[in-house]
Amino acid sequence: MSVTNLVSILLAAILTNNFILSKFLGICPFLGVSKKLDTAVGMSTAVIFVMIIATAVTWPIQTYLLTPNDLDYLQTIVFILVIAALVQFVEIILKKYMVSLYNALGVYLPLITTNCAVLGVTILNFDENYNFTQSMVNSLGGGVGFMLAMVLFAGVRTRLETSDIPKSLQGLPITLISASLVAISFLGFQGLVDGLFK
């Protein structure tokens, strides 16, 4: 586990295996909250925040509590409950001690609880057998990739507002088709990580 290895995990999570455009985790907020740039940034910052904290808590729980006691099958239920509790807890702390941060992010926090992206990254860390540092890097990359996709897409959707769209495609369909085009552009990153590190 060298620095190169960590950088390659980071780049892979952000670009080649982008959580939204490649793994389809976090589609609901992607489609729902990406209309304006500031909400997109607010939402993605909250996601990065929660992903990192969730990994920091779930990794030790699985490694030191569940696996040694043959309780792997409790992973799903333990993780989701931990994440839900964590988000509640963070919201309370932010409200009391970091009011400005709460005003910026607080409203997005409950939305992230039942979100594929956060639960997804915590499970993925174990599918890939990452150690603690690798898991943290993976989550950071996942969150940053989420933000990248959201911000880019917010730009695309702002342009869509002033375009002439056929009736049947208005609303959700054109949003999805635009998303597919953004996803194609990300396909271009295939082979980037391998190429850089070989």
Partner 1 sequence: MNAKNILVPTITLTVITLVVTALLVLTNGVTKDRIAELKVQAEEAAKKEVLPAADSFAEVILDTGIDGEEIIYYKADNGAGYVFSTSSKGYGGTVAVMTGITSEGEIAGITITSQNETPGLGQKALNTSFTDQYRMAIPDGGILVTKSGNSADNEIDAIAGATITTNAVTNAVNEAINIYHEIVGGGN
Partner 2 sequence: MAKKEKSLREVFTAGFVKENPVLRLVLGTCPTLAVSTLAFNGIGMGVAATAVLVGSNAAISLLRNIIPDKVRIPAYITIIAGFVTIIQMLVKAYAPAIDDALGIYLPLIVVNCIILGRAESFAGKNKVLPSILDGLGMGIGFTMTLLLMGSIREIIGSGTWFGMTLNNGSIIQPMLILILPPGGFFVFGLLIALANKIAEGKGKEPAALGCGGCPMAENCSRAVSEEGGCK
Q: Does 128 bind partner 1 (CB under 8 A)?
A: yes
Positions 6 through 65 that interact with partner 2 (CB under 8 A): 21-28, 31-36, 39, 43
Provide the minimum distance between the beta carbon of 193 and partner 1 in the complex, in angstroms, as a whole number. 8
Provide the minimum distance between the beta carbon of 46 and partner 2 in the complex, in angstroms, as a whole number. 10
Give the distance, in angstroms, between the CA of residue 198 and the centroid of all CA atoms in the same chain. Answer: 27
Binding mask 86-115 for partner 1 (x = CB under 8 A): ------------------------------
Report how far residue 139's alpha carbon sits from residue 143's, in angstroms, rounded to the nearest whole number: 6
Ramachandran region, residue 121 (left: φ > 0; alpha: ψ -120 to 50; beta: rest): alpha
Asked if residues 37 and 158 have their Cβ atoms less than 8 Å apart, the reply is yes
Binding region for partner 2 (CB under 8 A) out of 6-14, 49-57, 132-140, 163-171: 163-171
Binding region for partner 1 (CB under 8 A) out of 24-32, 45-53, 113-121, 186-194: 186-194
Positions 59 through 88 that interact with partner 1 (CB under 8 A): 73-74, 77, 81
Ramachandran region, residue 82 (left: φ > 0; alpha: ψ -120 to 50; beta: rest): alpha
Report how far residue 138's alpha carbon sits from residue 36's, in angstroms, rounded to the nearest whole number: 27
